[in-house]
Amino acid sequence: MNSSFNKLLTFKILIFVLMISVFCTNLLFIEEVDALSDSKQLVLDAWTLVNEGFYDPEKFDEIQWKRIRQKTLQKQIETSEEAYSAIEDMLRPLEDPFTRVLRPKDYELLKSSNFGSEINGVGLQLGEDEDSNKIKVVSTLGGSPAEEAGIKSGSLIEKVDGISSEELGLANTASKLRGESGTKVLVQISSESGELKEVDLERRSVDLRPVRTKRLRDDSHTIGYLRITQFSESVPKKVEEALQELKEKEVEGLILDLRNNSGGLVSSGIAVADSLLSESPVVETKDRNGIKDAIISQKEMSFDGPMVTLVNKGTASASEILAGSLQDNGRSILMGEQTYGKGLIQSLKSLGEDSGIAITVASYITPNGNNIQGQGMTPDKILDLPDASEYGSAEDKWVKNAELFLESVLEKEEVSNQTIESSNEEI
């Protein structure tokens, strides 16, 4: 009896001790979570922002997203740099190069390119090549060291200062190319034909000049030329001013040049479409809930004459939204090359210590339902011509082709108007 009672008592005591141990362990874990270091808090903040905003939540189940958070927070993360590296590792399974952490320098440079008028660097807009996972040149900025060195859209960045771009990844490759004016960076490039070359580029302040315009005249017609190099915050207002100036010069048609425009603020691209369309669908967006929101332009147009829009393989993102809306609504024909094919929208969020994170929050499709992501847009008229050394110059054959097309459209309109006038006279 006593033996059985003692065994039962011992068992109860053992259970009680185990319960206390588990309870204490949980308390320690709670205290540990509550007392996260600043560096680990940075990681947790990044995870939370992505968890709340990423456009494809089904991916979370596929990669065990919560498990990734747990494993990441178990690592030794004591500095900001260790936190940024941990976030990069955490984001990698999402397989979305556009969802990325931005260290303070990169975050500040990205904000300045969206809201400012100049940046320091070599003037390359980069993306990730889906086939090779290497870093690809989307476009070069006009007047930049990269353009002067002859680097073309579609080329691959093999190495930066001897380090492979595959090892660096998109964000770090872009970061290494930026820097103080006067410093140099050695870049190994492979062309689309496979030719390898090394280019020593000197960083400098690159004037973005996002909107450029001029008037083209011949014996019978006056045509406006409007080039947009990127979509920063100031662009919609600058475009309105440029269109007003061209109207005052009595231009009859418009050439919109979006070559090597790799995007920028989607809202700015939509605002420019609003200036060129009347009560027409601009774009549809699809967020994580699968909701498609159609954006419709206002009634008033800033210019209603015939248009040609020039695009090439460096035309991407917000510029594809604009070009797609103009093409699908029959407002402008597209001339040039197949565009880049970036149909994902990123939201820029702040993290601690002036760093940030870019998160893909939605995809977009054109008014006719075309999905641009990974496919790009096909021009109405393909131009198999070499790019000009200076866009919009007298030697620019792409602009000349667009000009000839517009002249033929204007001449047909004149003949049609004359026919109507003659019919009215007969009546």
Report the range of poorest mean pLDDT among 181-190, 233-242, 395-404, 418-427: 418-427
348: left (phi over 0), alpha (psi -120 to 50) or beta: beta
The beta strand positions in 313-380, using DSSP E, are 333-336, 344-350, 356-365
151: left (phi over 0), alpha (psi -120 to 50) or beta: beta
Residue 93, classed as helix, strand or coil, is helix
CA–CA separation, 380 vs 309, rounded Å?
A: 10
CA–CA separation, 40 vs 74, rounded Å?
A: 9
Give me the pLDDT at residue 34, please: 47
Residues of the chain by 3-state class (helix, strand, coil), percent to 5? 40, 25, 35
Residue 353 DSSP label: T
CA–CA separation, 359 vs 314, rounded Å?
A: 22
- The mean per-residue pLDDT over the stretch 194-220 comes to 85
The pLDDT tens digits for 48-71 are 999 999 999 999 999 999 999 999
Highest mean pLDDT among 86-90, 115-119, 290-294, 352-356: 86-90
Which residues does the annotation mark as catalytic? 317, 328, 342
